[in-house]
Every structure is written in C-alpha cells, then in structure tokens.
Amino acid sequence: MRSDRDFFNCSVSERKLEDGSIELYCGGSSYTPGGHVWGPNGESLQSNRDNSFDDFIDEDKYNYSEESYLSTPMKRLNLKGIANFEYSDDTNLFSEFTYAKRCSGQQMALQPVWFDFTYEESMGDSLVEHGINYRDSVSYGRRMSDTGTRDFSQVVDTVLTVIGAEVYLITIGLGMQR
C-alpha cells in the first residue's frame, strides 16, 4: 500500500504562499467522502455529517494514498519450448511453443463522482448562508465511501505455436544461346 511507505503515505499537493513560493503539503483530492460543493461565484464548501457546510480548506482534502496500491501484486508463469529436427541435408523441421500467464490486481481509492444541478428551494437553505442562491448552477462531487475501493484483477493467458520447415533448394540455371 502507498500508506505503508513514509515517502508515499500521503497524496502530495502544492499551494502558493503569500511570498509567491510554493509549499508542498499532505493533501489529496477535493472529492471527499462527505461531499464538496462548488458554487457559481467561486464558493467551495465541505459537507458535514449534520448536512451543514463549511468553507473547504486544504485540510479537508481526501488522502487517496491510504487505499491505493503502491506496487501492483503480480504472478507470472512463462514456458517456452523449441525443437529442431534435421530431416535431411536439405530439410529442417522446427517448432516453437510459448505459454505465458499473468495474474495481477489493482486497488484504487474510492470512486469519485461529480454532477451539476440547479439549486432549488426544495433542497433546503443550507447553501444560502454561504452565498449560493436558489436557481444557481452548482457542482457537487464526492467519494463513494459506501461502495468501497475500486478493485481490479486480471488473468491473461497467451499462447504462441509455430511449426515450420526450411527447405534448401539448389537451382541450376541453364543458359541458352541465340
């Protein structure tokens, strides 16, 4: 896991400081398990468990390193066979067989989702106090913490067979005179 290594245990983000320099910090994604709202005038709000909202700050970012693999676990099997049979001085028979199998898996952080909507009165007034008005276009994003991590696995089999013959021919050209 990425979180098992000190050099990768957090998702690195950067921010510009007042003096213009860049600072790296342990950050991550603005798609959080609780949800994040973006308003039409630059509002950026973090959703809380009690359905209230606070201004989104860097510390609210989601650290996706905790659930993601640093190294993909993989098992491989490779077999190869080559045969060559000299049938005669002019004929050679050959064959080749290759088999490869790979089993691997990936685990990534919770799935982020995003959608846009129009803020309506029927949705309550929790965004009004933050400068978002009814009928404003709003974006909402969150991590699907209720569905778990994104897990993938593959098993890939590859087979190659070649059978052939090499025949050495000697051609004799007959010249004709005019």
Q: How large a percentage of the chain has pLDDT more than 90? A: 71
Query: What pLDDT is recorded for position 177?
Result: 61
Q: How large a percentage of the chain has pLDDT more than 70? A: 96
Q: Which two tokens stand for residue 150?
A: 């994104």
Q: 178 pLDDT exceeds 60?
A: no
SS3 68: coil
Q: Which two tokens stand for residue 20?
A: 């213009």
Which whole number is the average pLDDT over 161-166?
A: 96
Predicted structure pTM score: 0.69
Query: What pLDDT is recorded for position 174?
Result: 63
Beta strand segments in 56-149, E: 74-86, 91-108, 112-118, 137-143
Query: What pLDDT is recorded for position 11?
Result: 84
**pLDDT tens by residue, 11-48:** 888 889 999 999 998 888 999 999 999 999 999 999 99
> 119 near 134, Cβ under 8 Å?
yes
Q: Where does the pLDDT of residue 10 fall: very low under 50, low under 70, confident under 90, or very high at 90 and above? A: confident
**pLDDT tens by residue, 91-141:** 999 999 999 999 999 999 999 999 999 999 999 999 999 999 999 999 999
